[in-house]
């Protein structure tokens, strides 16, 4: 089935109070994400994967030398669709069960945030940093370009886009400040908790 650009789950200016401007979302969602959808559809046609779900296309095209372009665009379409859902208007708290689980896995919420920022800062060039459920374990990972947890059979609980287009308008070259702000003011922790619950808790 053809890929479609989803609407943002909030207004373009809804995250401005949390530090992500209307201009960033206009460029990032309306132009960058839309380009992945358009290019992905062009590459999906004739690929033999037209009848697959987006998740199946990503998994099937990963590491297929004949489908590099399709993988890049399909995975980035999936990544951004999750990313919009993982954020929300500021002022949200981490549900207590999620906070307890993160505390068990990383020592404390503060230690989790420190390790998540370090993963994103440590991703040389474009990519993403993630909180994933891998088997029964919670882990922090980083991936280059469009590679995502689907490629490794992991469940994405939280992902942060560390491509420069995600932060250059609002934070210029300050990637660490952007990721810290993402954790402190932009993450929709209820969405993260729902993803963990859907993955069996
Ligand atoms: Mn992006």
**Cα 144 to ligand 1 centre (Å):** 12
Q: How far is CA 4 from CA 54, 81, 158, in A?
A: 10, 10, 22
Strand arrangement, sheet containing 155-161: 137-144, 127-134, 155-161
**Cα 166 to ligand 1 centre (Å):** 5
pTM surpassing 0.95?
yes
pLDDT for position 33 = 98
**Average confidence (pLDDT) per 10 residues, the chain, 201 residues:** 96 97 98 98 97 97 97 98 95 90 97 98 98 98 98 98 98 98 97 96 89
**Cα 104 to ligand 1 centre (Å):** 31
Domain boundaries, the chain: 22-86, 96-198
Q: What is the pLDDT of residues 122-173, one digit of tens each?
A: 999 999 999 999 999 999 999 999 999 999 999 999 999 999 999 999 999 9
Written out in words, the top-level CATH class of the domain with range 22-86 is: mainly alpha
pLDDT for position 200 = 94
pLDDT for position 131 = 98
Q: What are phi and psi of 100, to 5 degrees?
A: -65, -40
Pick the CATH number of 96-198 from 3.55.40.20, 3.40.718.10, 3.40.50.300, 3.40.47.40: 3.55.40.20
Residue 93 CB-density burial (10 A; 0-12 exposed, 13-18 middle, 19+ buried): exposed
**Cα 79 to ligand 1 centre (Å):** 8
Six-digit token string for 41: 């559809």
pLDDT for position 38 = 98
């Amino acid at each position: 089935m053809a890929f479609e650009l989803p609407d943002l789950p909030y207004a373009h200016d809804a995250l401005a109070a949390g530090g992500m401007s209307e201009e960033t979302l206009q460029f990032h969602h309306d132009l960058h994400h839309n380009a992945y959808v358009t290019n992905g559809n062009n590459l999906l046609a004739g690929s033999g994967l037209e009848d697959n779900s987006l998740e199946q296309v990503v998994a099937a095209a990963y590491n297929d030398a004949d489908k590099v372009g399709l993988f890049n665009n399909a995975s980035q379409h999936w990544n951004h669709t999750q990313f919009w859902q993982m954020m929300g208007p500021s002022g949200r708290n981490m549900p207590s069960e999620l906070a307890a689980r993160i505390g068990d896995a990383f020592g404390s919420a503060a230690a989790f945030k420190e390790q998540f920022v370090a993963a994103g800062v440590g991703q040389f060039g474009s990519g993403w940093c993630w909180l994933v459920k891998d088997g029964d374990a919670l882990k922090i990972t980083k991936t280059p370009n469009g590679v995502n947890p689907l490629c490794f059979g992991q469940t994405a609980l939280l992902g942060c886009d560390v491509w420069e287009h995600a932060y250059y308008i609002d934070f210029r070259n300050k990637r660490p400040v952007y990721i810290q702000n993402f954790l402190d003011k932009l993450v929709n922790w209820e969405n993260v908790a729902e993803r963990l619950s859907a993955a069996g808790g």
